[in-house]
Structure formats: structure tokens, C-alpha cells
A = this chain, B = another copy of it.
Amino acid sequence: MTQQKIDLNFKPAAKLTTDDLNPLAINAKYAVRGKIAARAEELKEILKKDPSSVPFPEVINCNIGNPQQLDQKPLTFYRSVLSLLQSPSLLKNENISELFPADVIQRATDLISNIGSIGAYSNSQGVKYIRERVADFISKRDGEPSSPNDVFLTSGASTAVNYLLTALCVGNDTGLLIPIPQYPLYTATLALNNSNPIPYYLNEENNWSTDPIQITQAIEENLKKGIKINGLVVINPGNPTGAILEESDIRDLITIAAKYGFVLIADEVYQENIFNGKFISFKKVLRVLQRENPDGKYDNVQLASLHSTSKGVSGECGQRGGYMELVGFDPAVEAVILKLASISLCSSVSGQSLVELMCNPPTQGESSYELDHTERLSIHNGLNERAISLWKSFQNMKGVSCIKPQGAMYLFPKITIPEKAIAKAIELGEQPDEYYCSQLLENTGICAVPGSGFGQKKGTYHVRTTFLAPGTSWVKRWEDFHNKFIEDFA
């Protein structure tokens, strides 16, 4: 069959520009990997080529909770099992018992017999066996039953947020309640889905707690404006705030969700990073409220709880493991979320396996227990010490206030920026805290994220910093920079 030929005498068209693209994609903002982070990468290259051209010995990445990029070592148990899942033939090596402890071999054998090859696509919701093990973990954590059918294994928590928001955002007359300050994944995903972030402010004066009256006001105002509210996002322990919610706060938030019938999204990825206070899951509090109210007032609550292998003492960000548990959802709604998951086929099966390991670490009596326990304790205590030490430094800086570290991987100090520095920032077309962070980076090599990337009350300025970087010399550089900055702009 001969085909007709096309005309080769054509006038070529211009390339697409950003004017031709989806404005939702153009307008979405994601500060954690924004301009300052990009400049930090440039500075690293400059440092390599000519160390004398910058006034600091190294770039310190405090902009992202990425422990293993700094000096955190992975947990040996996790990595040993994952190593065997990649190379199952090692299990048949006659010297295998000299290479790995018995419980590592057993765990790898169990996982392989239930998963098959980690090179095969799994069910889009995740390997059933792993979901069962996650449900066991949740049941033990909360003392409340959990079903593997409601557990979805995801690529970190980001994918879970993506599925939930894609389902819940119905155009620009819908919205989700978002804490301010918030992790910008939420506003970015809302922007991509053409829905409104409805801000509710966290109470900095009261340890960054939630204020139910203010949240109710925000809801009522938006309902009056005709905005349909499909969800309420809570991050606990808080990102960027580092705060932990009290049980009473959680009860209030669940009550609000029960009253208004929207989905409560509990981002609980920092549940292992607790330095001062106690983590209580939303699921547990919900079950308590349901028992306390046999009239069924809390029976309609829909809760999505997110967890991740990227945080905690695991810190396995690059492995992309995570899960979400959907509690109380309409099965037809769960089916839509499963369809969204199925379009990207499945999350990394090696990452899924890591979720199993995170949920079921070695227990006392098992051969890896002692080492694993020691490693966990050392990571946890190291983070705690660094948090306290950084916090103490902020106490020494003029015009800086910061709550005592409670949880997560961040401090979010409030910085009083001098009027003259604010004027300078405006002159440069920058936010004042962006100017502060960019000066901090250029002068000390410390890369932190301006509070404006997370949202903050008008007229206040903050900086988010992790406390993951080792050593104390960089903290001293920050102190010196800060005091000079204040002086220069006095």
C-alpha cells in the first residue's frame, strides 16, 4: 500500500514558550527547591573550582529534610534486607550466615516468598502482604484495628498527597484548609489542581498550635463566599514549625471534620521524630471520640493518615517509600483513589519493602536487635542534641525567637528584620526573609528556606532550617552573620 506523501515545502512554526503552557503549572510554587536552593548548588560548583572566591569553607544544606545527604548512616538492618531482595541468589550462598544475621535472612526470605521479584509491578495499591504488615503496625501503635484494604503504599508521602488532592479538588470554587505556615507541597498541588488553599494560621504564641475557633471562622467565611471545602490538612508533628499537637487540639480538628463532612488529611510523617512531647495519631483519637459518642456523631469522619520512610530515624528519602491509611471513606471514593494510583502503575517495590521494615523493626531477642536499637538511639539522640544546640544559638541572636524543639526535623525561628533591610529587599524585588536567606547563603554557605515559602502572618518573618547538619562551626557562622546583618541595617 503506498501512502500519500506530505508536503515538504512548509514554513516552520515557532517553538512553544511558557505562554503556551498550562498556567496552573507555571504558577505553582515550591520554595523548598526554589531559587535559594538552586543558588546553593551553584555555590557548590564555585567552591570546587575556586575555594578562595567565597567567604565560607562549605555549603550547608539546611533547606531540606534529607538526612543521608548529610552524615546520617542508614540503619544496617534495613539495608541488609533490601540488599538480599535485590540479589536473592545471595541467600543460596553457603556463607550467607557469615554475611548476615539470621533475622535478616529470615526477613528477606519471608518478603521474597510473599512479593516474588521486586522487579515486578505490584498491585497498584501495593503488595498485599506488606499492607497487612503495615496494618499490624498501625493496630499496635494505636491499639485500634486497621485493615490492609485501607492501606495504600505510595512513593513517599508526596504521591499520597497528589492522589488525595487530585480527587478532592473540583476547580476554583472548591478548596482545602491548609495550615499557615505549611509544607509547600500542599499549596503547589492545590495550584496544579486549580483549587484554593484556605489558610488557617497556627498560633506561634502558643507553640504553633491550631485554633479551632479561627478555623471555624475561616470555614464559615468561605462557605458564605460559595467555596466548597473538601478537606482539612494538618501536619503533626509540624513542618515547618517543629511543633507537636496536643490531644485536645486533635479532638477539636476531628470535631470540625465531623461537623463539616470534609476529609481530614493528617500528614504524620514525622511521628518518629519526637524530642519533647508525645505523638498521638489522629486515627487513635478518632476511635476514642467514636467510642465516647455512641450517638454516632463521629461515625462519618473520613481521615487519611500519611507516613513515610523518608523521615524518622529511617531517613531513607531516596528510596521513596510511604503509605496512607484511609479511614471511614466511602468505598466508591477509595476506588477513585485506587484508579489514580493505577495510572502510575505502582510505587517502587523496593520502597514498599522498606515500609514493611520501618513498620516492623527487629524486636528484642532477634539477632539484629541490639545493633538496630543502638543505631536508632544514636540517630535520635544526635538529632535531639543538634536541635537543642541550634535552638540555643537562636536564643543568642538579637531579634530572633524560636519555640523549644518538640518534633520533626526543623526549627522555624521568627526573625525581626530591621526596617532598612526590609527597604533593601523591596528595592531588590524580594521578600524580606528571602533577602535575609540569600544574604545568609552568600556570606556563610548556609542554605535555609525563607518563611515566605511556607506562609506566615503578615509583617512577620521566619526561616526554616533543619538541624541535620553535623558540627557546630556552621551555627557559629550563622550567629556571626546575623549579628552583623542586624548591625549593618540598624
Contacts and interface: CB of A to CB of B under 8 A. Distances in A.
Interface stretch (A66-74, A373-381, A403-411): A66-74
A490 interface: no
Contact of A80 (B28, B87, B206, B258): B87
A64 B123 CA distance: 11
Interface in A347-399: 347-351
A487 B21 CA distance: 54
A12 to B, nearest CB: 5
B122 A300 contact: no
A348 B121 CA distance: 15
A429 interface: no
A4 interface: yes
B259 A10 contact: yes
A206 B260 CA distance: 59
A110 to B, nearest CB: 17
Nearest to A317: B121
A99 B83 CA distance: 13
B119 A6 contact: no
Contacts of A170: 20-23
B320 A348 contact: yes
A348 B333 contact: no
Given A16-B333, A345-B317, A350-B350, A116 B1 contact: no
A396 to B, nearest CB: 26
B69 A116 contact: yes
Interface stretch (A152-160, A418-426, A438-446): A152-160
Contacts of A156: 344-345
Interface string A76-104: 10011011101111100101000100000
Contact of A188 (B79, B317, B343): B343
A248 to B, nearest CB: 9
Given A121-B64, A339-B28, A349 B193 contact: no
A316 interface: yes
A379 B256 CA distance: 57
Interface string A1-21: 101111010111111111011
A351 B273 CA distance: 27
B8 A333 contact: no
Contacts of A79: 86-89
Contact of A333 (B18, B117, B320): B18
A258 B345 contact: no
B87 A82 contact: yes
Given A17-B332, A21-B168, A22-B167, A116 B345 contact: no
A300 B6 contact: no
Nearest to A22: B170
Contacts of A228: 20
Given A15-B329, A155-B344, 7 more contacts: A3-B206, A15-B261, A22-B169, A22-B170, A30-B339, A30-B343, A69-B117
Interface of A: 1, 3-6, 8, 10-18, 20-23, 25-26, 28, 30, 32-33, 41, 64, 66-69, 74, 76, 79-80, 82-84, 86-90, 93, 95, 99, 116-124, 155-156, 158-159, 162, 166-171, 185, 188-189, 192-193, 203, 205-206, 209, 211-213, 216, 228, 230, 252, 255-256, 258-263, 296-300, 302, 310, 315-320, 328-330, 332-333, 336, 339-340, 342-351
- Among all A-B residue pairs, the 4 with the closest Cβ atoms: A13-B261, A83-B87, A318-B349, A68-B120
